[in-house]
Structures are given as C-alpha cells and as structure tokens.
Amino acid sequence: MKAFCPVCGGEVELPEDVMPGELLECQSCGATLEVYEQESAFKLREAEEIGEDWGE
C-alpha cells in the first residue's frame, strides 16, 4: 500500500497495519507525515502543520 507525500510528491510505503493518525517519515524528503483516511483510502499530510487552523 502506498500514498503520496504532499511535500515532495514521492511515494511513501505504508505499513499493512497502518492506522489513521500514525506518523511516518518520507524517505525522499524527510518530512514527518500524518496518515489520515479519506474516501476509504489512506492519505498523508504534513504533521508539522498540526496545531494550525485547518479550517474545520
């Protein structure tokens, strides 16, 4: 299972037992990424942005 890094656009391999909220590191750019679920698919966002206003 793979997802795309929002920072560099590189592919990031997801563990088979990945859970939303889990933090992964992009092997390409070193960014810390948070896993989230959207439309039954796992996607990644920059974990460093946690704490900012997401406009919810």
Instruction: State how far Cα 49 lies from the chain centre.
Output: 12
26 binds Zn ion (CB under 5 A): yes
**How close are the terminal C-alpha atoms of the chain, in Å?**
28
29 binds Zn ion (CB under 5 A): yes
7 binds Zn ion (CB under 5 A): yes
Which of 23, 25, 28, 37 binds Zn ion (CB under 5 A)? It is 28
47 binds Zn ion (CB under 5 A): no
CA distance 3 to 27: 12
Q: How near is the Cβ of 46 to Zn ion at its closest, in Å?
A: 9
